[in-house]
Structure 1
Amino acid sequence: MEIKPQAMVIPKETDHLEQGKYGPVFPRTPACYGFTIIGKVKPGRADTVRAYGYTLAKALEQDPYLLAPLKLHYLRWVLFDDDTRFMYQAIFDTDFDKYTEDAIALFTKAGVSTAFENLEGFPEDWRTNPEAFVHFVREHHCPSFIEYGEYPYVTADEVKKALQIKSALSEMLDQMQ
């Protein structure tokens, strides 16, 4: 089975898209699902955002599966414009509604805050008010207009399984020598 790279143009207008619990459901693309949020950092909070990145990295060292419920492929955080703006970019396997609900549940259960708390306009009641969380995300979402996948529509679980099979085959071949 040959997997051919693919690209998909995402429409600017969202009126024709299926409506989910929290608004339009953007289509699954060859890169799977995802979103990019750009927000203004509260004055003096850039170092707090950076520190939160270290906190998250340390938490993942202790529990590599901490973020597993989110079905992430990639997560990227960027501070830019002299540390006055923050970009959160995530690529994942579930639709936006499920990702949002899973993220709120995950952070609430773990008793941790979110880097978003350091952004202007982020709702203080985000743990108990998913609609306010979603409103913030939708308001700060910068949709991509094209997405490309070298291995299109493949889930993170499928990638991990393929890597496990590759490792098992390599080990088996090594033992045969």
Structure 2
Amino acid sequence: MTATTGATPSAQPERPGRSDGVCSEFTVFTKIKPGHADALREDLVALADAAASENVHAAVRQIGTLHDARHVIFDNDTRFMFASVFDGSWDTYIDDFAQTVVGARFDKVFSHSEGFPGVTDPGAKDWFLAQQEPAEVFVSAYPDLTVQQIYKDHRVEEAFEAVLDTAEFRAALDNPANAELLATPAFQKLLEEAAA
């Protein structure tokens, strides 16, 4: 007899890949079409150049869930690996790429892989699933931080650093009226972290 928990089944099917906290890994291995390795390499160079431009970083920020990505040609130019770390559901992650400039770049890069239907094709997810191999081990350095939280933390840090650099803040540190606040362990820790 099977026990039931009363949980509502997910609308999305189970997807491969390991997770650590809010972060999930995605790794695909494809076969490069015969004679396409040099063209793939050229497209990857163009992708790397584009990655340095503002529009690609803006698209990555628009997607808002991508921690990192890697592209590797291996096995004597016969195979290609794409690996990334992302937040959220696998399906949303794949869908999001098709809606930005990144999707067009993915189409160009993966067009050199056997059987790739195109990132906007209804069969794209099935194709990615067929190429995907879950990691045996996946560990994130910050498993409880989403990309959005990291962006926010960075903005807060920049704002706090700007406050620390003002004459008004230095005057507040010297003001005897603030001595009680300055002596609290929380404020001392804040100052220590800012100095680190």
TM-score (norm 1): 0.74
Candidates 43, 54, 59, aligned match of 1:52: 43
| Larger of the two Rg values belongs to structure | 2
Indicate the structure whose relative CO is greater, using CA pairs within 8 Å and at least 6 residues apart: 1
List alignment gaps of at least 5 residues for structure 2.
1-8, 171-196
Candidates 64, 68, 71, aligned match of 2:61: 68
Deviation at 1:143, TM superposition (A): 0.4
Partner Cα distance (1:111, 1:152) in 2: 28
| Alignment-derived partner of residue 187 in structure 2 | none
Partner Cα distance (1:75, 1:111) in 2: 13
Partner Cα distance (1:57, 1:134) in 2: 24
Q: Is the 8 A contact 2:98 2:104 kept in 1?
A: no
List alignment gaps of at least 5 residues for structure 1.
1-17
Give the number of aligned pairs: 156
Root mean square deviation, CA, Å: 2.6
Alpha-carbon displacement from aligned partner over 1:155-174 (angstroms, at most 9, x marks no partner): 11111111122222222222
Relative to total residues, which structure has the larger strand share, 1 or 2? 1
Relative to total residues, which structure has the larger helix share, 1 or 2? 2
Alpha-carbon displacement from aligned partner over 1:92-114 (angstroms, at most 9, x marks no partner): 11211111112223359858733
Q: Is the 8 A contact 1:31 1:147 kept in 2?
A: no
TM-score (norm 2): 0.68
| Alignment-derived partner of residue 159 in structure 1 | 150
- Seq. identity, %: 28
1:17-166 superposed matches below 5 A: 20-21=11-12, 23-26=13-16, 28-30=19-21, 32-60=23-51, 61-63=53-55, 64-70=57-63, 71-106=65-100, 113-123=107-117, 126-127=119-120, 129-130=121-122, 132-166=123-157
